Copies of this chain bind each other. A is one copy, B any other.
Amino acid sequence: MPPTNPARRRALTDAAIELVAASGAHGLTHRAVEQAAGLPTGTASNYYRSREALLVATAERIVELHLADMEQAADRHETPADLAGLLTESLLTAATTLRTRYLAIFELQLEATRRPALASALAGLQDASTRFTVGHHQGLGLAVPPERVPVLIALYGGALFTLVTAPPEHIGREAVESIVDAMIHGALPQSNNGRSHH
């Protein structure tokens, strides 16, 4: 039975997030993780038997941190919240303060195209995240129909990829507001977005 010290588990996976962002999924090894966490040789393989288990645990830790941040953000907002404001704060923080974390999840998503076990773990996390977001929106009193949440998450994730891979000096509130406006209202100006043809 693997050891279950939760603080040590967090120390290992937090170090893993930094490593993946800094060196790519390829840079994530048991040895590198325990060194980065300042833990003795062998610690990482006591917790995670294979490299795949380590990759999956890193993805799970990122989603855990992401959901915890969403909950905190929910607590700070009055209801009914403003969807544009919520998405702007969330994307801006994700692309700046938390850039490393989201660079790591995108590395893992690409690695998952080569590793079915990681892909299936990420799919499970995606489902949990969708359910959480639906509940989160309802808790905030946002009028986002549950069936639109997956496409909103797809645009959010995609926009975040674009932001974290852009030169950091390009990432400001204005750029993020413009993307969020496009996510909610469409990329074309209202008078010009083809609705009249429908």
Q: Residues of A at under 8 Å CB distance from B?
A: 21-26, 83-84, 103, 106-107, 109-114, 119, 123, 143-145, 148, 151-152, 154-155, 157-162, 164-165, 167, 178-179, 182-190, 192-195
| Closest B residue by C-beta to A154 | B162
**Could you tell me the distance between the alpha carbons of A167 and B113 in the complex, rounded to whole angstroms?**
8
**Could you tell me the distance between the alpha carbons of A20 and B154 in the complex, rounded to whole angstroms?**
24
Contacts of A159 on B, CB cut-off 8 Å? 154-155, 158
Contacts of A26 on B, CB cut-off 8 Å? 24, 26
**Could you tell me the distance between the alpha carbons of A105 and B110 in the complex, rounded to whole angstroms?**
11
Of B148, B179, B187, B195, the contact of A188 (CB 8 Å cutoff): B148
Contact (Cβ within 8 A) B151 A157: no
Please list 27 pairs of residues, one from A and one from B, whose beta carbons are closer than 8 Å in the complex, sorted by A's number.
A23-B114, A24-B24, A24-B26, A26-B26, A103-B113, A106-B110, A109-B165, A110-B110, A112-B165, A143-B188, A144-B188, A144-B192, A148-B189, A151-B178, A151-B179, A152-B182, A154-B162, A154-B179, A155-B183, A155-B187, A158-B161, A182-B186, A183-B187, A184-B187, A184-B193, A185-B194, A190-B195
Contact (Cβ within 8 A) A185 B179: no
Contact (Cβ within 8 A) B145 A182: no
**Could you tell me the distance between the alpha carbons of A162 and B154 in the complex, rounded to whole angstroms?**
6
**Could you tell me the distance between the alpha carbons of A159 and B187 in the complex, rounded to whole angstroms?**
13
Contact (Cβ within 8 A) A110 B119: no
Contacts of A160 on B, CB cut-off 8 Å? 158
